[in-house]
Structure 1
Amino acid sequence: MCKALAIAHLLALPLLAQAHRSFLVPSSTVLSPTAHQWVSIDAARGNDLFFFNHNALPLEGLQIISPAGAAVEPAKLERFRYKAVFEWQLTAPGTWRAAVVNDGLRVQWQDNGQPKRWNGPAADFAQSVPANAENLSVNEVASRVETFVTMGKPSPLTPSGKGLEVRYDTHPNDLVKGEPATLTFLQDGQPAPKLKVSIHPGAARYRDGTQQMNLVTDEQGRLQIHWPSAGLYWISAATKVAATFPQAKQKTLSYAATLEVLP
């Protein structure tokens, strides 16, 4: 977790439970292997993909992972009304991952008839929610929102084995219009069969129709995508599983990524 943000524990709501989509938009996804390369990431939530018209994405779960698998702190991070922005210098060739990862609870209850809510880590539940809370509703959430930037030659990406995520059998920075790409969705490190996946091209506000693609993974969790055009795409999936926290009704796992498809 970014040290500068460790004072807060707010969780981004899971994608199934909110109308607004969470996304990261990199200034570049592919860079030449020269010195002093930098990348900036815009982080936001909104109905229109890759437009900043709702609010900034909370970055308490921000992770920047180098090609060697090391965690890196952003050189600068600013939060504005409609988006947050962070940047870092790419100091080594290969593929870098920027992700906002959260795992915790979403809680609602009533206090003298007034609705109350709290989002945070399970460890803080007892001190944050009254023991005698009325109409208590507890749900576990685990979300991942990510994007990828490659300097020079792409390098392999290793899944964490936690929550809902993707193993990119076709590298995420090697996507080309008209060429098929294979992705394998994983749930806690294991293939996620029959998972519904949505794929949205950006800039929908300038088109008649969203051109959304709705696909389903096979028995091995695999999905093959044929990109109809170049540009930015947002892929997302979510599923519900049994809760591990005693008071929770269920656990929602969600995944979203911004990918660039080249001409």
Structure 2
Amino acid sequence: MKPSFKWTAVVLAFCLPLSAQAHRAWMLPSATVLSGEDPWITVDAAVSNDLFYFEHFPMRLEGVGDTGANPAGGPPGARPRPAAKLTILAPDGSPVQPQNGNLGRYRSTFDVHLTDKGTYKLAVANSGLFARYEENGKPQRWMGSADDFAKQVPADAKGLEVSRVDNRMEVFVTSGNPTETVLEPTGQGLELAPETHPNDLFAGETAVFGFLLDGQPAKGVKVSVIPGGNRYRDQLNEMTFTTDEQGQIRITWPEAGMYWLEAETRTTAGVKAPATKRRASYSATLEVLAP
């Protein structure tokens, strides 16, 4: 049986461990706080070793570019990677379509026209099952929906291990004054529930970020925050946190710049068969401004 590759490069990247050399998936906006009467942003989307540096492969997104000469979204000859579902919400929660999309060798790019004042949310979210097992003496890997699991994975598979995986990646961009509508949680997976608006971050100040798992405070979640540009310094400068009983952390930003935040939790609580464990992760690209 051939493994299913219905999930995206985003999910494959998130399955790797977080370390200085891990592949990280990210979206990088040209700006997160804008003014003026007709603002636009350009967004880069990629998977790389170094943050915000294009050197591995692009994140393929539905409606952004075409397959071109490199349908794998990576080195020539690489396995094709399906496109991820990108959702863009306007300040009132209505959908917005990306424009001028392009799929390149190392990155995808698209534009967003900020026609309304307030905060926009750009998100890529995935949820499903991840299975490892052995077939005919060879290790197999399968990823897909719960509905397809029984059709694709043998019930008596040797060494079968099944995990539920929920991943979410977000970017927030504000035209004019920040608004709150797109910050409302969906109640599914691991989500950001900020007390400090993600477009109101300043060097030297402390931000309070909460996290929810299926709508409830997510305590004991490990959170990593890394400033961009790690390619050009000897140290990763990673800041690590663990959420408190209310699911919150407090981050004092050391300097202005772009940051990558990732939160991850693993649990067996409330997991439904055929899965026996669960992994949920959240990531965001954040811009910290000079005071």
Q: Find the aligned partners of 1:25 and 1:16 in 2 and give their Cα distance.
A: 21
Corresponding position of 1:10: 7
1:107 is the counterpart of 2:131: yes
Aligned pairs, number: 255
Corresponding position of 2:78: none
Corresponding position of 2:289: 262
CA contact (8 A) 1:65 1:98 kept: yes
TM-score, scaled relative to structure 1: 0.89
- Whose strand fraction is larger, Structure 1's or Structure 2's? 1
Shift in CA distance, 223/39, structure 1 to aligned 2, threshold 3 Å: same
Q: How do 1:1-263 residues align onto structure 2 when only pairs under 5 Å count? A: 9-11=6-8, 12-13=11-12, 15=14, 17-18=16-17, 19-35=22-38, 37-59=39-61, 60-156=84-180, 157-242=183-268, 244-263=271-290
Q: How many Å apart are 1:80 and its aligned residue? A: 2.9
Gaps of 5+ in 1: 1-7
Gaps of 5+ in 2: 62-83
CA contact (8 A) 2:13 2:23 kept: no
Q: How many Å apart are 1:14 and its aligned residue? A: 6.9
Identity of aligned residues (%): 46
CA RMSD across the alignment: 2.0
Q: Find the aligned partners of 1:14 and 1:52 in 2 and give their Cα distance.
A: 15
- Which moves more between the two structures, 108-117 or 13-22? 13-22
Q: Find the aligned partners of 1:172 and 1:81 in 2 and give their Cα distance.
A: 31
Shift in CA distance, 199/74, structure 1 to aligned 2, threshold 3 Å: same
Q: Find the aligned partners of 1:104 and 1:33 in 2 and give their Cα distance.
A: 41
- Match for 2:24: what amino acid? R
- Match for 1:44: what amino acid? A
Q: How many Å apart are 1:192 and its aligned residue? A: 1.5
Q: Find the aligned partners of 1:227 and 1:91 in 2 and give their Cα distance.
A: 30
- Match for 1:65: what amino acid? L
